[in-house]
Chains A and B, each alone.
Chain A
Amino acid sequence: QSVLTQPPSASGTPGQRVTISCSGSSSNIGSNTVHWYQQLPGTAPKLLIYTNNQRPSGVPDRFSGSKSGTSASLAISGLQSEDEADYYCAAWDDSLNGFVFGTGTTVTVL
């Protein structure tokens, strides 16, 4: 049972902006940085955003992250068909002394 809560699904038409929320607590998001992963079917997760809002090399600037208090968000602007995937937030949890992943959000491009 994850301590980071995400909506199960999100959707949009090509070109739209989609936002995914990640709700945590003072022991995880409230005191540590947030990271986001994209997982395409049958593949390993891919680091999409690290340290709240940083993009690894090669990740399009259509993806952006933000954090406020005990919540974080991932935004996908200019939605494309290849963005259909599962998205997970993650953060270090001081109480559990370990990483925790979010419940995951499936993004569908209509």
Chain B
Amino acid sequence: QVQLVQSGAEVKKPGASVKVACKTSGYTFTSYYMHWVRQAPGQGPEWMGIIDPGGGRKINAQKFQGRVTMTRDTSTSTVYMELSSLRSEDTAIYYCARALYSGSYSPPELWGQGTLVTVSS
């Protein structure tokens, strides 16, 4: 069955960077785009970007331009999201979510379990 397993919780200091991994299995890794979505405590989901694991094409949300880097490793079927210059407002659960079909317009369908990132001095 399709699985998206994310890396464990992180605690970071302001100004640091965090890299979250999302290891996939059970499907052809390069056939589906992957979204990154975060959710701050008590808030709704916030879209961060999308990556094409096949061709490497990425679209970042304007809000995170220059701060977020999405990469993929086809040898391990893993996608990564790195967020830099962390501030307290970045405290949130970060999700990877496989798109319903190939293409940037495809909505997130299958979600990872989430990774809690806490930014605190």
Q: Assuming the A-B contacts A47-B108, A50-B107, A90-B107, are A100 and B100 also in contact, with contact meaning beta carbons closer than 8 angstroms in the complex?
A: no
For B105, what are the chain A residues with a Cβ–Cβ distance below 8 Å?
32-33, 92
Q: Which of B16-24, B42-50, B75-83, B84-92 contacts A (4 or more CB under 8 A)?
A: B42-50
How many residues from B make CB contacts under 8 Å with A? Answer: 24
For A101, what are the chain B residues with a Cβ–Cβ distance below 8 Å?
44-47
Bound-complex Cα distance A72 to B95 (A): 25
For chain B, what secondary structure do more than half of its interface residues adopt (helix, strand, loop), or is it mixed?
Answer: strand
Bound-complex Cα distance A97 to B95 (A): 20
For chain A, what secondary structure do more than half of its interface residues adopt (helix, strand, loop), or is it mixed?
Answer: strand
> Counting CB contacts under 8 A, is B7 at the interface?
no
How many residues from A make CB contacts under 8 Å with B? Answer: 25
B109-A37 in contact (CB<8A): no
A97-B62 in contact (CB<8A): yes
**Interface residue ranges of B41-68 to A (CB < 8 Å):** 44-47, 49-50, 59-62
